[in-house]
Amino acid sequence: MELTLTSFFFDLPVYTPVTIDEGNFHVYQKIIDGTQKEEFEGYNPWKKIESTFVVTTDLIPNGGVFRGHGIVKIKCKRTDSIFGFDILVDPKIPMIMKTGQYLSVADFHISEIKQYRKLLPNEKLEEFTRAIGLAANGVGIGSFVYLRRIFEHLINETYLQCIEEKLVSEEQYNRSRMDQKIELLSAHLPSLLVDNKSMYSILSLGMHELDENACLAHFDTLRVGIEIILDAKLDDLRKKEKIEEARRKLAQFHSQTQNS
- Whether 61 has a pLDDT exceeding 70, the answer reads no
DSSP 203: G
Q: Give the Cα separation of 159 and 144 in Å (integer).
A: 22
**CB-CB contact of 96 with 16 (8 Å):** no
Name the least confident of 68-82, 120-134, 164-178, 199-213.
Answer: 199-213
Spatial separation of the C-alpha atoms in residues 112 and 133, rounded to whole Å: 13
Mean pLDDT in residue range 67-86? 93
Tell me whether residue 51 is exposed, middle or buried, using C-beta atoms within 10 angstroms of its C-beta: 0 to 12, 13 to 18, 19 or more.
Answer: middle
In this predicted model, what pLDDT tens digit does every residue of 126-151 receive, in sequence order? 899 888 888 878 888 888 888 888 88
In angstroms, rounded to a whole number, what is the distance separating the alpha carbons of residues 252 and 249? Answer: 5
Q: How far is CA 203 from the centre of its chain?
A: 18
**What are the residue ranges spanned by the domains of the chain?**
5-103, 110-243
The C-alpha angle with vertex 1 and arms to 145 and 151, in degrees rounded to 5, equals: 30
Q: How confident is the model at residue 190 (pLDDT cuts 50, 70, 90)?
A: confident
pLDDT in tens, 34-57: 888 899 998 888 888 889 999 998
CB-based contacts of 236-244 (< 8 A; 24+ apart in sequence): 237/118, 237/119
How does DSSP assign 89-126, residue by residue? EETTTTEEEEEEEES-HHHHHHHHHGGGTTTS-HHHHH
Cα–Cα distance for residue pair 149/154, rounded to 1 Å = 9
CA–CA dist 85, 70 (Å, integer): 8
Whether residue 260 has pLDDT greater than 70: no
Span 198-203, average pLDDT: 75
Centre a 10 Å sphere on the Cβ of residue 60 and count the other Cβ atoms it contains: 14
pLDDT of 21 above 90: yes
In a 3-state reduction of DSSP, which class is residue 50? strand
pLDDT for 63 equals 64
Write phi, then psi, for 143 (nearest 5 degrees). -65, -40
Mean pLDDT value across the chain: 87
Answer for the pair 141, 212: CB distance below 8 angstroms, yes or no: yes
